[in-house]
Amino acid sequence: MIANLGLAALWLAAALALLQLLAAWRALRMAGAKEGALVRPVAIVQGLLAALAFVCLIAVFCQTDLSVKLVAMNSHSAKPMLYKFAGAWGNHEGSMLLWVTIMGLAGGLVALVERRLPEPTMLATLAAQAFVSLGFYAFLLISSNPFERLDPAAPEGQGLNPLLQDPGLAFHPPTLYIGYVGLSIAFSFAVGALITREVSPAFARAMRPWVLGAWIFLTIGIVAGSYWAYYELGWGGWWFWDPVENASLMPWLAATALLHSASVLAARNALRAWTVMLGVVAFSMSMVGTFLVRSGILTSVHAFAVDPERGSFILGLLALNIGAALVLFALRAATVTEGERFAVTSREGALVFNNVMLTGALGIVLIGTLYPLLAEALGTKVSVGPPYFNPMTAVFVVPMLAVLAVGPLLRWRQDSFARITPMVAIPALLTGAAASVLVLKGMAVLPLLGMALAAGLALAAFMPLRGRKLSRVNLPLWGMIAAHFGVAVALFGMAADSAWTVERLVAVQTGQAVEVGPWKVTLRTIVPVAGPNWTALEGEMEARYKGGDPRMLHPQARAFWAPPQQTSESALATRWNGQLYAVLGEQAEDGRWQLRLWWKPFVTMIWFGGLLIALGGVLALIGRVWSDLKRIIARGKIAYRRERQGR
Amino acid sequence: MSAPIKAKHQRLVLVVIALVALIGAGLLAMWALRNQASYFYLPAEMAANPPEAGRAVRLGGMVEAGSLKTDPDGVTIRFTVSDSTARVPVVFKGIVPDLFKEGSGVVAEGRLDPRGQFVADNLLAKHDEKYVPREMKDMTAAQARQTIEETK
Q: Are B93 and B76 within 8 A, CB to CB?
A: yes
- Which residues of chain B does A361 touch, with a Cβ-Cβ cutoff of 8 Å? 25
Q: What is the pTM of this model?
A: 0.91
Q: How far apart are CA A353 and CA A573, in angstroms?
A: 41
Q: Which residues 80-119 of chain B have a CB within 8 Å of chain A?
A: 93-96, 98-99, 109
Residue A352 contacts B where some CB pair is shorter than 8 Å: yes
Q: What is the mean pLDDT of chain B?
A: 77
A87-131 per-position pLDDT tens digit: 999 888 999 999 999 999 999 999 999 988 899 999 999 999 999
ipTM of the complex: 0.77
Closest CA to B109 of B117, B118, B100, B101: B118
Residue range A349-368: mean pLDDT, rounded:
94
Q: Which residues of A touch B38 (CB under 8 A)?
A: 382-385, 387
Model confidence at B135, in pLDDT bands (50, 70, 90)? low
Closest-CA residue in chain A for B136?
A: A299
Among A216, A236, A215, A214, smallest CA distance to A226 is for: A236
Look at residue B147 and tell me whether its pLDDT is greater than 50. no
B128 pLDDT more than 60: no
Among residues A568, A579, A565, A563, which one has the least CA distance to residue A539?
A568
Over the stretch B70-96, which tens digit does the pLDDT of each residue have?
888 888 999 999 887 889 999 999 888
A507 has a chain B CB within 8 A of its CB: yes
pLDDT at A380 over 80: no
Q: Three-state secondary structure along chain B?
A: CCCCCCHHHHHHHHHHHHHHHHHHHHHHHHHHHHHHCEEEECHHHHHHCCCCCCCCEEEEEEECCCCCEECCCCCEEEEEEECCCCEEEEEEECCCCCCCCCCCEEEEEEEECCCCCEEEEEEEECCCCCCCCHHHHHHHHHHHHHHHHHHC
Return d(Cα A141, Cα A149) in angstroms, integer. 13
Of the candidates B28, B93, B98, the beta carbon closest to that of A566 is on B98
Nearest chain B residue to A362 by CA distance is B25
CA distance A347 to A412: 5
Q: What is the pLDDT at residue A176?
A: 94
Whether the per-residue pLDDT at A233 is higher than 90: the answer is: no
- State how far the Cα of A108 lies from the Cα of A342, in Å rounded to an integer: 38
pLDDT tops 50 at residue B149: no
> What is the DSSP secondary structure assignment for residue A375, as one 8-state letter?
H
Q: Note the helical H segments in A233-385.
A: 243-268, 272-294, 308-333, 347-377
Mean pLDDT of chain A: 91
Task: For chain A, say whether B15 makes contact (Cβ under 8 Å).
Answer: no
Residue A275, chain B, CB below 8 Å: the answer is no
Distance of alpha carbon A205 from alpha carbon A265, whole angstroms: 8
Amino acid of residue A569: E
For chain B, the domains span 1-37, 39-151
pLDDT in tens, A598-627: 999 999 999 999 999 999 999 999 999 998
Cis bond before residue A563 (omega within 30° of 0): yes
Instruction: Give me the residues of A, 587-606, that contact B with CB < 8 A.
Output: 588-590, 592, 594, 596
Euclidean distance between CA atoms A94 and A48, whole angstroms: 17
Burial status of residue A157 (CB atoms within 10 A of its CB: 0-12, 13-18, 19 or more): buried
pLDDT for residue B131 is more than 60: no
Q: What is the mean pLDDT of residues A196-208?
A: 92
Alpha-carbon distance values, A587 to A510, A517, A595 (Å): 11, 24, 10
* Chain B positions in Cβ-Cβ contact with residue A343 (cut-off 8 Å): 1-5
Q: Nearest residue of B to residue A352 by CA position?
A: B14
> How far A344 CA sits from the closest chain B CA (Å)?
8
For range A368-388, the mean pLDDT? 83
B12 touches chain A (CB under 8 A): no
Nearest CA in chain B to A418: B1
Q: Measured between CB atoms, which of A299, A414, A594 is closest to B75? A: A594
Which of A161, A345, A507 lies nearest to residue B130, judging by beta carbons? A161
CA distance A343 to A562: 64
Residue pair A146/A11 in contact by the 8 Å Cβ criterion = no
Give the model confidence (pLDDT) of A156-188 as tens digits: 888 888 878 888 888 999 999 999 999 999 999
Q: Over 90: is that where the pLDDT of A320 sits?
A: yes
Residues 162-221 in A contacting B (C-alpha not used; CB under 8 Å): 163
Other beta carbons within 10 Å of A390:
13
| Distance of residue B64 Cα from the nearest chain A Cα, in angstroms | 19
Question: What pLDDT score was predicted for residue A599?
Answer: 96
**Domain topology for B39-151:** OB fold (Dihydrolipoamide Acetyltransferase, E2P) (2.40.50)
Query: Quick check: A565 and B98 CB within 8 A?
Result: yes
SS3 (DSSP) at A63:
coil
- Do B74 and A375 count as a contact with CB atoms less than 8 A apart? no
Contact A584, A555 (CB under 8 A): yes
User: Using the beta-carbon criterion (under 8 Å), do A415 and B1 form an inter-chain contact?
Assistant: yes
Digit-coded pLDDT (tens) for B36-76? 666 778 888 888 888 888 888 888 888 888 888 888 888 89
Cβ–Cβ contact B149 with A under 8 A: no
- Whether residues A359 and B56 touch (CB distance < 8 A) is answered with no
What pLDDT band is residue B148 in, cutting at 50, 70 and 90?
very low
Looking at the partner chain, which of A368, A414, A596 has a beta carbon nearest the beta carbon of B33?
Answer: A368
Nearest-10 crossing angle of helices A168-196, A272-294: 140
Is residue A307 scored above 80 in pLDDT? no
pLDDT band at B12 (very low <50, low <70, confident <90, very high): confident
Q: Does B128 touch chain A (CB under 8 A)?
A: yes
